[in-house]
Amino acid sequence: MPETMRRQFVREREAAQLLDEFSEKLGIDVGSLLDTRKPSVEVAEASAVRIYYADGRPIMAKVKDTLIPTLLFEKLLGNLPRIVVNMGAVPFVCNGADVLAPGVVEIEGAFGVDDFVVVVDERHQKPLAVAIALDGSQVVRGLSRGKVARNVHYVGDALWNLLKKG
């Protein structure tokens, strides 16, 4: 991926459609989490990803035609269901591993299959990853083995590194 990405503004109508699509996917009014009613939306492209910025903050990325929230959109992450993992699972999640039931210590909030969840560590409650649930929260609470969420964006991945470079 290139070291620097040029940003370009997205037309107001396209920005509104994009925010509506993202809100529908998440089940949360993303627009209400932004600082302005009509944010200026920019896009930056790299080889395999598009990063969308609202009022200068990276809020989502499009990877393989899937919109995902970024780990830097803290207001949104605070509104998503959370999977709390033990400290032993942290290095694995931060290396891109999917979330496994033995590492889960708590489920906060309700979610269904294919919903986005935030993976946090039990000690500091820091977001480690954005993942897609493989089962609903009620099922996950009863599991003692197997995968419970697919890791799609984590601290230290290529997207994270692009976001940190600005």
Let me know how long the chain is: 166
CATH for 76-159, options being 3.40.50.2300, 2.30.130.10, 3.50.50.60, 3.40.50.11540: 2.30.130.10
Q: List 51's β-bridge partners, or say none.
A: 44, 61
Q: What is the pLDDT of residues 113-130, one digit of tens each?
A: 999 999 999 999 999 999
CATH for 7-73, options being 3.40.630.30, 3.10.450.120, 3.40.50.2300, 3.40.50.2000: 3.10.450.120
Quote the CA–CA distance of 3 and 88 in Å, as a whole number. Answer: 33
Residue type, 77: L
- The structure tokens 């039990």 sit at 122
- β pairing state of 147-154 and 99-100: antiparallel
pLDDT band with cut points at 50, 70 and 90 for residue 75 = very high
Quote the CA–CA distance of 81 and 134 in Å, as a whole number. Answer: 14
| pLDDT computed for residue 1 by the predictor | 41
Please, what sign has the CA dihedral across residues 133, 163, 22, 50? negative
Q: What is the pLDDT of residues 146-156, one digit of tens each?
A: 999 999 999 99
Domain ranges for the chain: 7-73, 76-159
